[in-house]
């Protein structure tokens, strides 16, 4: 027999709920009984799946009763620290919709511990209150644990193009399923605030993963929570197996994880522990984060963009750029560099070199001579600093004026987003052949993922 508690809601043997008064008889009645038995049955079943072994994991359901609006239905929860597969109806707690304990199990003799409501109670209440859930399952299934460990910095689990995604509320086969990951804490109840934050930040989610621990899954009722929990575990298992096969679970094709030479790089390699990472984690400090150094020409951007767009643009814009910026210190420096280069070229008899007159000759004459020299240098495909500097400045203006539109391969934004989600920084080598700041070579929506080049 369960023991009824004197809770703030108990009124002369009646339990006052938000809009209705329920008698003690209701608390002891068949609907509550069915929910208690259901939790015991489900726990036995989930034990065989490894979701609630070693007393871990927990289940809660509302007392489904069509005559009572869901926010006012009573809640049944399992006890804490017990062998979940051996629980019976009388082991369960009954709570009011706001979370007050209305009835608790009777103590059992040694070696049983004194009864206590599940430590997951505050977390379950968040799902009830923030999502109007009808049932919540907390699983310690190893798949839900391992999937958070593959990429230890990831804040989300993402997967797409898997049939079982259809079993998750509001999702279709082609949708990307995103499950937030929160960090584990010493005590279950300490997870409450980060779980609430994740629920708020991911309005579409019906689950939250807890790193190195498990998952919380909720649904409109116990059937929905159970179905979704099964689908989530299936998808985590699939992701782990794909990862073991060297395949990328997060892309639509689930193809091989690209080699370090590929555009996407090798995310597994990005997490292969280095000595420094190992030492840091052994010391209990946060492991070092990794950085990917990207090339642009031929890696993120077609080489043809440089040859067919950037170089012609620079050639055609020299005169206009010099005329518009002639008085600036930057352009004066560019002209100074070019004048010195031309003097050297003249001394060496380089074809096409023509003297650039001194500043006193006037803006027009200086610009005309610079344009002639620059055209000859571009025609000869000279790789000289003076030319690269001027070209870089012309391209920068072109990107700023939107006369130049950046081009990146179609899988680059996806890779940048994924690396960003994994906490991996993306940067570029200091010397870029075309002397454009890398950030300018990317569409605005990609720029946020880049470390700004300085």
Ligand X SMILES: CSCCC(=O)C(=O)COP(=O)(O)O
Residues of this chain that interact with ligand X (CB under 6 A) are 54-58, 80-81, 118-120, 138, 188
Q: Is there a contact between 135 and 62 (Cβ–Cβ < 8 Å)?
A: yes
Asked whether the CA dihedral 228, 230, 231, 233 is positive or negative, the reply is positive
**Cβ distance to ligand X smaller for residue 195 or 270:** 195
Question: Is 138 marked within a binding site?
Answer: yes
Q: Are 239 and 267 in contact (CB under 8 A)?
A: no
Distance in Å, CB of 115 to ligand X, minimum:
11
Instruction: Point out which residues pair with 177 in neighbouring strands.
Output: 159
User: Among 156, 163, 190, 297, which one carries the catalytic annotation?
Assistant: 163
Q: How far is the CB of 294 from ligand X (least distance, A)?
A: 41
Query: What whole-number distance in Å separates Cα of residue 314 and Cα of residue 16?
Result: 79
What does 90-148 look like in DSSP terms, one character per residue?
Answer: GG-EEE-TTS-EEEEEPP--TTSPPP-B-TTHHHHHHHHHHH--SEEEEE--HHHHHTT
230 is catalytic: no
Minimum separation from the CB atom of position 45 to ligand X (A): 17
Nearer to ligand X among residue 80 and residue 397 (C-beta): 80
CA atoms within 13 A on the CB side of 17: 22
Task: Please identify the residue of the shown chain whose CB is closest to the bound ligand X.
Answer: 80
Strand-strand pairing, 207-210 and 176-182: parallel
Minimum distance from CB of 185 to ligand X (Å)? 10
**CB 220 → ligand X: shortest distance, Å?**
23
Nearest-approach distance from CB 77 to ligand X, in angstroms:
8
Please tell me whether 213 is known to bind a ligand.
yes
Distance in angstroms (rounded) separating the CA atoms of residues 334 and 318: 12
DSSP classification of residue 163: G
Tracing tokens 């809660």 back to the chain, one arrives at: 60
- CA 94 to CA 29: how far, in whole Å? 12
Q: Of 280, 393, 249, give the one whose Cα is nearest residue 331.
A: 393
Q: Any idea of the CA torsion for 244, 245, 249, 253, to the nearest 10 degrees? A: 180
Closer Cβ to ligand X, 194 or 301, answer by number: 194
Q: Which is nearer to ligand X, 114 or 430 (CB)?
A: 114
- CA nearest to 200, candidates 182, 225, 226: 182
Q: Which is nearer to ligand X, 80 or 435 (CB)?
A: 80
Tell whether residue 393 is among the known ligand binding residues.
Answer: no
Question: How crowded is the C-beta side of 270, counted as CA atoms within 13 Å?
Answer: 27
Cα separation, 290 vs 423, in Å, equals: 8
Task: Give whichever of 190 and 295 is closer to ligand X, judged by the CB atom.
Answer: 190
Place of tokens 């679970």: 249
Which two tokens mark 281? 């984690």
Which one, 40 or 267, has the nearer CB to ligand X?
40
Least gap, CB of 281 to ligand X (angstroms): 22
What is the rounded distance in angstroms from the CA atom of residue 3 to the CA atom of residue 376? 95
Closest alpha carbon to 232 in 171, 165, 169, 170: 165
Q: What is the nearest approach in angstroms of ligand X to the Cβ of residue 33?
A: 21
Q: Which is nearer to ligand X, 81 or 423 (CB)?
A: 81
Cis peptide bond N-terminal to 111, omega within 30: yes
Is residue 2 within 8 Å of 37, Cβ to Cβ?
no
Residue positions forming the annotated binding site: 120, 138, 140, 213
Q: Which parts are annotated binding residues for substrate?
A: 120
Binding-site positions for Zn(2+) read: 138, 140, 213
The catalytic residue positions are: 163
């Amino acid at each position: 027999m369960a023991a009824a508690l004197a809770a703030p809601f108990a009124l002369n043997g009646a339990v006052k709920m938000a809009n209705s008064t329920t008698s003690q008889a209701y608390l002891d009645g068949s609907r509550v009984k069915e929910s208690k038995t259901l939790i015991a049955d489900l726990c036995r079943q989930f034990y065989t799946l490894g979701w609630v072994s070693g007393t871990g994991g927990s289940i809660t359901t509302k007392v489904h009763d069509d005559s009572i609006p869901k926010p006012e239905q009573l809640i049944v929860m399992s006890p804490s620290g017990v062998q979940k597969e051996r629980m019976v109806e009388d082991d369960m707690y009954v709570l009011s919709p706001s979370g007050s304990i209305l009835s608790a199990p009777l103590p059992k003799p040694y070696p049983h511990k004194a009864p206590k409501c599940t430590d997951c109670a505050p977390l379950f209440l968040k799902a009830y209150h923030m999502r109007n859930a009808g049932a919540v399952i907390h699983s310690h299934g190893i798949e839900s644990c391992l999937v958070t460990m593959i990429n230890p910095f990831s804040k989300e689990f993402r997967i797409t193009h898997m049939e079982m995604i259809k079993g998750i509320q509001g999702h279709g086969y082609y949708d990307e399923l995103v499950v937030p990951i929160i960090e584990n804490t010493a005590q279950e109840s300490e997870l409450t605030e980060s779980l609430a934050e994740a629920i708020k930040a991911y309005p579409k989610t019906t689950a939250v993963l807890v790193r190195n621990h498990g998952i919380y899954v909720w649904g409109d009722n116990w059937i929905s929570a159970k179905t979704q929990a099964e689908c989530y575990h299936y998808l985590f298992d699939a992701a782990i197996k794909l990862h073991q096969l060297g395949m990328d679970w997060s892309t639509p094709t689930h193809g091989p994880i690209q080699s370090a030479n590929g555009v996407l790089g090798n995310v597994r390699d990005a997490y292969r522990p280095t000595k420094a990472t190992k030492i840091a984690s052994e010391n209990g400090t946060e492991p070092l984060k990794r950085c990917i150094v990207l090339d642009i020409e031929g890696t993120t951007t077609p080489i043809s963009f440089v040859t067919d767009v950037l170089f012609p643009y620079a050639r055609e814009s020299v005169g206009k750029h010099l005329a518009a910026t002639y008085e600036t210190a930057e352009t004066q420096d560019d002209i100074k560099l070019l004048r010195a280069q031309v003097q050297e070229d003249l001394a060496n008899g380089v074809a096409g070199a023509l003297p650039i007159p001194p500043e006193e000759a006037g803006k027009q004459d200086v610009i005309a001579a610079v344009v002639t020299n620059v055209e000859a240098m571009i025609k000869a495909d000279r790789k000289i600093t003076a030319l690269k500097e001027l070209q870089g400045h012309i391209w920068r203006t072109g990107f700023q004026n939107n006369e130049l539109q950046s081009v990146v391969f179609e899988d680059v934004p996806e890779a940048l987003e994924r690396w960003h989600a994994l906490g991996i920084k993306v940067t570029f080598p200091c010397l870029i052949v075309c002397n454009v700041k890398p950030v300018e070579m990317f569409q605005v929506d990609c720029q946020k993922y880049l470390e700004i080049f300085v």
